[in-house]
A and B are shown apart, each in its own frame.
Chain A
Amino acid sequence: MSAETLTLSRAMNEGLRKAMENDPKVLIMGEDVGRLGGVFRVTDGLQKDFGEARVIDTPLAESGIVGTAIGLALRGYRPVCEIQFDGFVFPAFNQITSQLAKMRMRSLGTLELPVVIRIPFGGGIGAVEHHSESPEAYFTHTGGLRVVACSNPADAYTMIQQAIECPDPVIFFEPKRRYWDKAPVDRDLANAAPFDKAVVARPGEDVTVLAYGPMVKTSLEAAQADEGHSIEVIDIRSLNPLDEETVLASVRRTGRCVVVHEAPVFSGYGGELAARITEKCFYHLEAPVLRVGGFSTPYPPSRLEDHYLPDLDRVLDAVDRTFAW
């Protein structure tokens, strides 16, 4: 009864609002998040309702956004930072990987850093350069960070609240090309899976497709279109920590696995998945784990991005190849 159809952007917005209502220490900070409501309108109306002290229009300085968020967290606040676009996170890289990630360990556990860094990521919107990137592997490689990606409005609503409640720093990836996708959102958090668990987005028998963020929808469409095979799609959701149990159980059952992400395949997150699955499901595998993803190049100009980004056909091509082995 509490389910209502929302866009992913709106679901994020309502999740943030709920977190701010529940805890006065929750702050929102970022470029254009106040009066404008964020370039994707994720923070729309929040400054009006919670004031400028809690929804902070920051200077245009990403290192400053994360660096001051760390200071606010040290003072007992729970800042939620918005990095406007994936390609703009790199000026904040030191603050995230060398400062935020390590501070708890360096302090022998005396400091807590409940900072959430929201990053709209991925391509497919015809943007100019630096607006379509998938930098998740840089962060999954860094101990001390939790890295999650939502793929749909329902998860956006619950996962952002779970991330804000988490005492560890969380990098929260949002699939920017799915911001305007609509789906029912259950507002009862008690029904939600924990945010560090993967979920089976579509059950199947013959092959497991692993995806997260924007590629979940692509994978589901591929599964729908494939009349020859029963494809199980798993939404990884939590990249670090990885919910191995859900992933391995599926692959042990199907014996075949395809990993899909937009980021370059080489040294990408899919490489870690493939290695772990190979190590832990070796005798169950009928074929090597195949990876579908971006090429080993900078992100191309947008007129070429349809070639660069995995689509339904490239997922199905990989699925077919696992059966041809």
Chain B
Amino acid sequence: MIVDAARGAPLGTDAQSPPSELVQLLTPEGERVEHPDYDVNLTPDEIKSLYRDLVIVRRIDAEAVALTRQGELGIWASLLGQEAAQIGSARALRTDDMAFPSYREHGVAYCRGVDPLDLLGLFRGVNHAGWDPKEHNFHLYTIVIGSHALHATGYAMGIQRDGTENAAIVYFGDGATSQGDVNEAFVWSAAQNAPVVFFCQNNQWAISEPLEKQSRIPLYRRAEGFGFPGIRVDGNDVFAVQAVTKKALENARSGQGPTLIEAYTYRMGAHTTTDDPTRYRLQAELESWKLKDPIERVKAYLVKNEMADRTFFDAIEAEAKGVGSDLRKRCLELPDPEATAIWENVYATEHPMLADERAGFTSYLESFEEVSR
């Protein structure tokens, strides 16, 4: 690539240019297309199951946004538009693979069997994470951008030492690729040949910063410099994402080391419920991505190929609605923790100072109860 250092910014457009090397198996119009290296052989039932996943996680997400608007959650990071990237990759995982999410991976959490209510706990502020990572092989959300890329890499080093055929996958966004920890994870995993898949959802926006503020080249091409393959996939194509992730995981498990997957997608909503994207991006861009919706194309494919009819779609819609209203009900019932929870689980072993603080604060609280009596 010719680099014009003096011009700077325009070179960044390369990072965002229409993806020529994008792996795609299902067009936005729902047409199945061939790719020389990737294919999926899904039964109609499997495709319908993916459709169901996509619709349900979109509904969970919408419910959480609504709960935030109504003051029931402090904040929510919506996955709207990224459903295929998450469902496609998570459904490529085996149960005994390990996933390390960022904080927008609600679709991955769903596929790993995490109760969506346990995701809400964090955003409601009743805990920092409500699920057992070991039970689901789904780690805690990581909010400090990119820190968990190293955790995934270390975990993968553990897999190597155990001699098992597993892989770790770590999810992060385009913004995270600028972080030192992500780049260190690239260096480490390459040097160690660790069985880890770096799954980057390039949703084009790191809050208000477009990709050209972060990269001069398409993100998947960064991998080459670190010495492992990088691939860009249509992140709104659940078939292609699943195929590409499956291959990368198989490579990792069979000792071929890491892969960087750039799932090219779009954050249809705000960064979080506190964000206002109208301040930094154009409506026209949003409209163009609406035409690439990850769910509509699967629906179109199912209809065109007469794999599903109205009854099926209505049933899924009703099921999703049920999941949403159930989640809402349970969210409202989430109790605030007791004050003493502050000191719980900080240390595995006895810590006299914490015990003193806890006892002191407990009797302080009790002194109010005595007064009110």
The yes or no answer to A10 lying at the interface (CB within 8 A) is no
A105 to B140, CA, bound (A): 11
A38 to B51, CA, bound (A): 55
Q: A59 contacts which of B159, B191, B348 (Cβ < 8 Å)?
A: B191
Counting chain B CB atoms within 10 Å of each CB, the highest count among A59, A67, A79, A166 belongs to: A67
Q: Is the CB of A94 within 8 A of B188?
A: no
Whether a CB of chain A sits under 8 angstroms from the CB of B351 is yes
Q: A71-B153, A95-B150 given as contacts; is B348 within 8 A of A61 (CB)?
A: no
A61 CA to B346 CA, complexed, in Å: 28
Contact-residue bracket for chain B: 35 or more
Given contacts A67-B181, A74-B155, A75-B155, contact A144 B133 (CB under 8 A): no
Residues on the A chain within 8 Å of B321, using CB: none
Task: State the main secondary structure of chain B at its contact with A.
Answer: helix
**Nearest-CB distance from B323 to chain A (Å)?**
24
Whether A104 contacts B346 by the Cβ 8 Å rule is yes
The interface residues of chain B lying within 8 Å CB-to-CB of A106 are: 128-129, 140
Cβ-defined contact, B154 with A69, below 8 A: yes
A107 B352 Cβ-Cβ under 8 A: no
A77 touches B158 (CB 8 A): yes
Name the B residues within 8 Å of A102 (CB-CB).
Answer: 128
Roughly how many angstroms separate A198 CA and B208 CA in the complex, as a whole number?
52
B162 at the interface (CB under 8 A from A): yes
Identify the stretch in A109-117, A119-127, A173-181, A300-308 within 8 Å (CB) of chain B at 4 or more residues: A109-117
Number of A-B pairs, beta carbon distance below 8 Å: 142
Tell me what chain A mostly uses at the interface: helix, strand, loop, or mixed: mixed
Chain B 169-188 interface 0/1 with A at a Cβ cutoff of 8 Å (1 = within): 00000000000110011011
The winner among B154, B155, B351 for most chain A CB atoms within 10 A is B154
Q: Which B residues are CB-close (under 8 A) to A98?
A: 144, 147
* With contact pairs A94-B144, A144-B346, A144-B347 given, residues A108 and B154 touching in the complex (Cβ less than 8 Å): no
Which single residue of chain A is at the shortest CB-CB distance from B134? A110
- Chain A interface residues (CB < 8 Å from chain B): 27, 53, 58-59, 61, 63-64, 66-77, 79, 91, 94-95, 98-99, 102-112, 143-144, 146, 166-168, 240-242, 244
Q: Which residues of B are in contact with A by a Cβ distance under 8 Å?
A: 127-130, 132-135, 139-140, 142, 144, 147, 149-162, 168, 180-181, 184-185, 187-188, 191, 344-349, 351-354
Given contacts A68-B153, A94-B147, A108-B344, 9 further A-B contacts (CB under 8 A): A67-B149, A68-B150, A69-B154, A71-B154, A75-B159, A99-B142, A107-B129, A167-B348, A241-B353
